[in-house]
Amino acid sequence: MNLAGLTAHQLHEMLKKGETTSTAITEAVIKQINQVEDKVHAFVTQTPEKAMEQAEKVDKAIQGGSPVKPLTGIPFAIKDVLCTNGIRTTCGSKILENFIPPYTGTALQKLENEGTVTLGKVNMDEFAMGSSTETSYYGITRNPWNLDTIPGGSSGGSAAAVAADECIISIGTDTGGSIRQPASCCGIVGLKPTYGRVSRFGLVAYASSLDCIGPMTKDVTDAALMMNILAGHDSLDSTSANMAVPDYTQSLVNDVKGLKIGIPKEYLIGGLDPDVEKAIKEAIKTLESLGATTVEISLPHTEYAVATYYLIATAEASANLERYDAVKYGYRTGEFDDLLDMYMKSRAEGFGREVKRRIMLGTHVLSAGYYEAYYLKAQKVRTLIKQDFDNAFEKCDVLLTPTAPTAAFKIGEKMGDPLQMYLSDIFTISVNLGGIPAMSLPCGFSKDKLPIGMQIMGRHFNEEMIFRVAYTFEQNTDYHTKKSPIAELAK
Amino acid sequence: MAIDIKHVEHVALLGRLRLSDEEKLALTADLNNILQYVEKINELDTTQVEATSHILPIRNVTRPDVVKPSPGPDVMLANAPDREESFFRVPPIME
């Protein structure tokens, strides 16, 4: 048995019974990384020595009688946008090539306190701006299901690492779909929690009113176990919600009888790939056969979501990325005439093409004479999009949609046309604008044997209902048990 | 509301980006394409709609003003591209 191929909850059972050790698990995962990483390129920075040290420490503690908590001894991969004390954090950018944070973010600290094992930092679109992990300064990541296709993005390294069994669990971030779309492309589970449910302290900011941290895992149970640790208020993030955190494993119930599932009609029209449409319709039938009822819902402002998102997200990004001034940390150009020249050259040389494009768009929409027409207008449309969800959830318990309009596309296919790239997030973006939680989980395969994901959206702070529907679907299907060809390769 | 290369140069100065001539041309085309697409939101009448800046029902979160230990200058300056003693070093900002 390849330990690297198991889930966290399976390994936890074995650890508890003394059937394996964290050292054995970590060794198996590192062996897997060594066998497949040259094909996938999921990692930016690997920390195998640190991982083995942590694993040995965990094993000693277990031998000494310490409790084996659900994620104790589990190796995990961290999206390179989360600050890790003493481990380089690049955000996929040249500008942070040598940045070593002096602190660890809250989400990671909480996981570390449980005794998780850090494998390293995984690849992403530069500053989380992209849908394909092709904009990273550290090279592209490939989809373990088909190496000629993208793993999705921006958390493409996380999704690919999970799908290739190069880690047991991973952590990603989602501003417009960056957890869910790569989860869909790589056939794994990814949850974007409610805005404010998980502390953002230590997450390098892209668009502060939209950014969320969440789990990326092999199945729904592992996502619930991670959420039990990640969720909660943090005095270091004033936008984190001061609300009680439920035990999400209580929602892992194989029962959807009597639940109402809303199907937004705006998501099942033109442009949807026939394979995706077929998979979603079958998923709906599966849930109906298990006792759920479906109801057609309208989210009338759906068609304005991508435009609204690119105005709000780029405006916030242009402000957030002002901090890269070549003074406190980050890349500084070699030669310059004066301070202004130092700023302008350092930023021009440090940022990649897509980041510059978004800084330019965001600066433009915030500049005098354009602010009201673009930014303020977009914030008002955001209200309408949020109201669409409020109205929908009066009629149903969850909404079910495709996660992405197509399965993973070919590497290079959309790099020449930013607008086409932006439209690959068409089904995920409204969720961030509305601040609601949503999960992507595997629900089928395309003719080309690429995974297809479905998205389940819930009410604000009602991740539990999402877990219940997702768990029921998973227990009655076997898509989550299928392994990518790359994962199968190494035995 | 098409934008020209002069406006792109103005925005690049505001955004502190030194762009090459080739980048300026490409960005003028890209931004016009994207702006043309986002014009879509003007189809909606929002005169009666409040703006949403974030979705949480919270405002002005405060905390007690308590002194806590800080990491100190050596830790905070460790990533500085250039430093002198306990300071970040930058080119002269006044003649």
| pLDDT tens by residue, A14-39 | 999 999 999 999 999 999 999 999 99
Which strands form A438-445's sheet, in the order they lie side by side? A43-46, A117-122, A75-79, A169-174, A212-217, A189-192, A438-445, A451-457, A398-402, A260-264, A293-297
Is residue A294 one of the residues assigned to a domain?
no
Let me know: does A51 contact A119? Beta carbons within 8 Å: yes
Tokens 């006792």, residue located: A291
pLDDT digits (tens, 9 = 90+) for A88-133: 999 999 999 999 999 999 999 999 999 999 999 999 999 999 999 9
Is residue A168 one of the residues assigned to a domain?
yes
Among B7, B43, B56, B82, the strongest candidate for a mutation testing the A interface, having the largest count of A CBs within 10 A, is B56
pLDDT (0 to 100) of residue B57: 79
Give me the helices (H) in B4-93, please.
5-14, 21-38, 73-76
CA distance to partner chain A, nearest, from residue B66 (Å): 13
Q: Which domain holds residue A255?
A: 3-265+391-489
Residue A469 or residue B54, greater confidence: A469
Phi/psi for A204 (5° steps) reads: -70, 125
Domain count of the fold of chain A: 1
Banded model confidence at residue B54, pLDDT cuts 50, 70, 90: confident
Let me know: does A378 contact B41? Beta carbons within 8 Å: yes
Is residue A454 one of the residues assigned to a domain?
yes
Is residue A430 part of the annotated active site? The answer reads: no
CA distance to partner chain A, nearest, from residue B13 (Å): 8
Let me know: does A457 contact A403? Beta carbons within 8 Å: no
The region, left, alpha or beta by phi > 0 then psi within -120 to 50, assigned to residue A73 is: left
Q: Which residues contact A102 (CB under 8 A, 6 or more apart)?
A: A85, B71, B75, B76, B78, B79
Q: pLDDT digit of tens for each residue in chain A (491 aa)? A: 799 999 999 999 999 999 999 999 999 999 999 999 999 999 999 999 999 999 999 999 999 999 999 999 999 999 999 999 999 999 999 999 999 999 999 999 999 999 999 999 999 999 999 999 999 999 999 999 999 999 999 999 999 999 999 999 999 999 999 999 999 999 999 999 999 999 999 999 999 999 999 999 999 999 999 999 999 999 999 999 999 999 999 999 999 999 999 999 998 876 789 999 999 999 999 999 999 999 999 999 999 999 999 999 999 999 999 999 999 999 999 999 999 999 999 999 999 999 999 999 999 999 989 999 999 999 999 999 999 999 999 999 999 999 999 999 999 999 888 888 888 899 999 999 999 999 999 999 999 999 999 999 999 999 999 999 999 999 999 999 999 999 998 76
Confidence check on the interface: ipTM exceeds 0.85, yes or no:
yes
Q: Radius of gyration (Cα) for chain B, nearest Å?
A: 23
Diameter of chain B measured on Cα atoms: 57
Burial class, A273, CB count within 10 angstroms (exposed 0-12 / middle 13-18 / buried 19+): middle
pLDDT (0 to 100) of residue B55: 83
Can you tell me the mean pLDDT for B36-63?
A: 90
- CATH label of the domain that carries residue A223: 3.90.1300.10
- What is the Cα–Cα distance from A85 to A314, expressed in whole angstroms? 28
Residues of chain B with C-beta less than 8 angstroms from the C-beta of A361: 31, 34-35
Of A322, A345, A383, the CB nearest to B52: A383
pLDDT (0 to 100) of residue A491: 60
Is residue A339 one of the residues assigned to a domain?
no
Residues of chain A with C-beta less than 8 angstroms from the C-beta of B37: 306-307, 419
Is residue A288 one of the residues assigned to a domain?
no
Is residue A170 part of the annotated active site? The answer reads: no
B42 to A377: CB separation less than 8 angstroms, yes or no: yes
Is residue A302 one of the residues assigned to a domain?
no
pLDDT (0 to 100) of residue B94: 80
Half-sphere exposure of A90 (CA within 13 A, CB side): 24
Structure tokens at A320: 């957030």
Size of interface A-B (CB pairs under 8 A): 163
CA distance to partner chain B, nearest, from residue A308 (Å): 7
CA dihedral defined by A183, A184, A188, A190, rounded to 10 degrees?
A: 50
B18 to A322: CB separation less than 8 angstroms, yes or no: no
In chain B, where the domains are located: 19-44
Q: What residues form DSSP beta bridges with A170?
A: A77, A216
Angle between helices A463-475 and A220-230 (to 10 degrees): 160
Half-sphere exposure of A142 (CA within 13 A, CB side): 15
Is residue A305 one of the residues assigned to a domain?
no
Q: Which residue of B has its CA nearest to A367?
A: B11
Half-sphere exposure of A272 (CA within 13 A, CB side): 21
Tokens 């993005």, residue located: A153
Of B15, B49, B61, the CB nearest to A383: B49
Q: Which residues contact A96 (CB under 8 A, 6 or more apart)?
A: A89, A90, A329, A330, A331
Task: Spell A212-232 as b/e; 16+ CB within 10 A means b.
Answer: bbbbbbbbbbbbbbbbbbbbb
pLDDT (0 to 100) of residue A486: 96
B44 to A435: CB separation less than 8 angstroms, yes or no: no
What does A345-377 look like in DSSP terms, one character per residue? HHHHHHS-HHHHHHHHHHHHHHSTTTHIIIIIH
Is residue A154 part of the annotated active site? The answer reads: yes
Q: Which residues contact A174 (CB under 8 A, 6 or more apart)?
A: A155, A180, A190, A192, A211, A212, A213, A214, A428, A432
Among A96, A381, A390, the strongest candidate for a mutation testing the B interface, having the largest count of B CBs within 10 A, is A381
pLDDT (0 to 100) of residue B61: 85
- What is the Cα–Cα distance from A175 to A382, expressed in whole angstroms? 14
